[in-house]
Amino acid sequence: MRVRTLSSGVLTVALAAGAAIGVPAATPASPAPTVVINEVESNGDAVGDWVELANLDTEQDVDISGWTLIDDDPTHDPIVIPDGTTIESGGYWSVYTDVDPDYFGLGGNDSVILRDAGGEIVDSTTWSGHSPTTWGRIPDMTGEFAVTGEPTRNARNVSADEEDPVVTSPWPFDPLTITPVALGGDFAEDDDMSGVDIAADGTAYVVNNGSGTLYVLAYDPGAGTYSLARTFVLKYPDGSGLPDAEGVTVGPDGAVYVATERDNEDSRISRPSILRFVLPTDRDSGTLDATDEYSLAALTGPLGANAGLEAVEYLPEVFGGAFAVGVEGTGKVHVVTLGAGGAVTEKQSYTSPFSGVMALDYDEVDGVLRVLCDEVCEGRSLEMTFDGTGFVTDGTVHARPAGMPNLANEGFGSHRETVECLMGGATGTAERVRFLWADDGATAGVGLRTAVSEAGECTVEDDDTVDGSLDDLDTVLGSLAGLHPVFGSLGDAPTLLPTMIRSL
């Protein structure tokens, strides 16, 4: 980083006696900066993260050639603004920070520092947590930094007060008791747990986007607990790289499909792909090469390196077996089929009301596809159903569960299971739904949380056993009435008792 060197000034002052004496010059007052950092997008739009500068001078353009921008990581090389770059009077200038391979992305807890060509700090800003919109000056150019009403790159900032509040309906499965999944290890120590899926047999699959790891969790329905069964570090089909694993689902053939944003070994380049993995039968750990890679770049258009595919979910009864894919940077859901040789065919594209689609979950019983956002959207979600030609929604937006804090839940999975119950002295069955959430921030040392919803009443599929028992009771009570006077004195009580039991 360059540092400007200032030479010592000397002022010659004429005295009344005619003598001249050299005295140190007074340090001139630094002019008020006319350029400020005005707006920051740290969570990526359709292209990536960006920083906007504004020129407060309404009469003069400002030359910012050679000025630099850097985040809070001193190991990063600063972005050097090209020669000949000016900001017009009262205007704006912006730069994407993570598109050029030599640049850097912005995090949820980060800073931006602007320096002039001499290395002097002109302006800076720091934030905690990704803004649901952007982080900008309110009022525009002159105010303090706050969450804005909407992204306005190269235009006037909009106050959040100008935005209508989002009207939500309660989470459909409330009330829930949400508890940590006590797995320890990576799930307590590492952040970046992202995608979750629960297979038909109850096995859970979780992926970590930072380490490119797939975790397979065994479920004990009797104890209601999970245990870590298998761990694999994922690779691309040629055995290279470290996929940024964001979403996971189990396909029709038992293979595992993973949605990825980029190769973490080349993290400045977008690579929106679905990878297919076949889990080995002879080992429970090690590296695992993908059998196929399906690129969605042609469907998503240009994306920031950290704004790509966040979720994938298999849809067994849709278009003969399709996949829903969620995109962070565009907030879209793409429904696609996957073919031989990496072929991808789009069947439907839906633009959600969320700034990013972070998780997807499909309930085969109800035929509902749930589309979820993370803490940027307060954990909101919506439901979609397939009408024979495509997925539709009535537009209802659901709040996150009442007992769930606003966490960075980038993964969500549900699973319906049948449990035994008792009704009228007979053994029946009841349906319940089990949920899993993956917290990318590992808040309070918890990477995975769970809850159970009792979704159905206890039912006895075959009433013959109960009716048969009551018929036997009719006979027994009738016999007793003839054997002892006390039963005869009860009148019709012996015969009414079975009827009363049936009516309960």
Asked whether residue 415 is assigned to any structural domain, the reply reads no
Q: What is the pLDDT of residues 423-481, one digit of tens each?
A: 777 888 888 899 999 999 899 999 999 999 876 678 886 544 444 444 444 454 455 45
Q: What is the pLDDT of residue 162?
A: 59
Asked whether residue 442 is assigned to any structural domain, the reply reads no
Same domain, 274 and 376: yes
Q: What is the pLDDT of residue 441?
A: 87
Asked whether residue 318 is assigned to any structural domain, the reply reads yes
Q: What's the rounded Cα separation, in Å, for the pair 140 and 182? A: 47
Asked whether residue 170 is assigned to any structural domain, the reply reads no
Same domain, 337 and 299: yes
- Whichever domain contains 130, its CATH number is 2.60.40.1260
CB 324 within 8 A of CB 382: no
Domain boundary among 110, 134, 162: 162
Asked whether residue 2 is assigned to any structural domain, the reply reads no
Same domain, 195 and 62: no
Structure tokens at 323: 């996949």
Q: What's the rounded Cα separation, in Å, for the pair 93 and 89? A: 11
CB 361 within 8 A of CB 435: no
Asked whether residue 423 is assigned to any structural domain, the reply reads no
| Weakly modelled stretches of the chain, pLDDT under 50 | 1-31, 463-474, 476-477, 480, 483-484, 486-491, 493-495, 497-504
Q: What's the rounded Cα separation, in Å, for the pair 462 and 398? A: 38
Same domain, 141 and 97: yes
CB 246 within 8 A of CB 230: no
Q: What is the pLDDT of residues 271-302, one digit of tens each?
A: 999 999 999 999 999 999 999 999 999 999 98
Same domain, 369 and 468: no
Same domain, 158 and 190: no
Same domain, 304 and 349: yes
Same domain, 340 and 240: yes
Q: What is the pLDDT of residue 164?
A: 66
Q: What's the rounded Cα separation, in Å, for the pair 96 and 94? A: 7
Cα–Cα nearest to 451, from 398, 414, 420:
414
Domain boundary among 128, 162, 196: 162
Strands (E), 25-159: 35-41, 50-55, 62-63, 68-70, 79-80, 86-87, 92-96, 109-115, 121-128, 135-138, 144-150, 158-159
User: Which residues, other chains included, contact 503 with Cβ-Cβ below 8 Å and sequence gap of 6+?
Assistant: none
- Whichever domain contains 256, its CATH number is 2.130.10.10
Q: What is the pLDDT of residue 15?
A: 26
Same domain, 269 and 388: yes
pTM: 0.71
Same domain, 228 and 320: yes
Asked whether residue 263 is assigned to any structural domain, the reply reads yes
Q: How many Å is the Cα radius of gyration of the chain?
A: 32
How many domains, the chain?
3
* Residue-number span of the structural domain to which 257 is assigned: 182-404
> Per residue in 244-264, is it b (16+ CB within 10 Å) or e — as a string?
bbbbbbbbeeebbbbbbbbbb
Asked whether residue 63 is assigned to any structural domain, the reply reads yes
Q: What is the pLDDT of residue 229?
A: 97
Same domain, 266 and 221: yes
Same domain, 199 and 345: yes
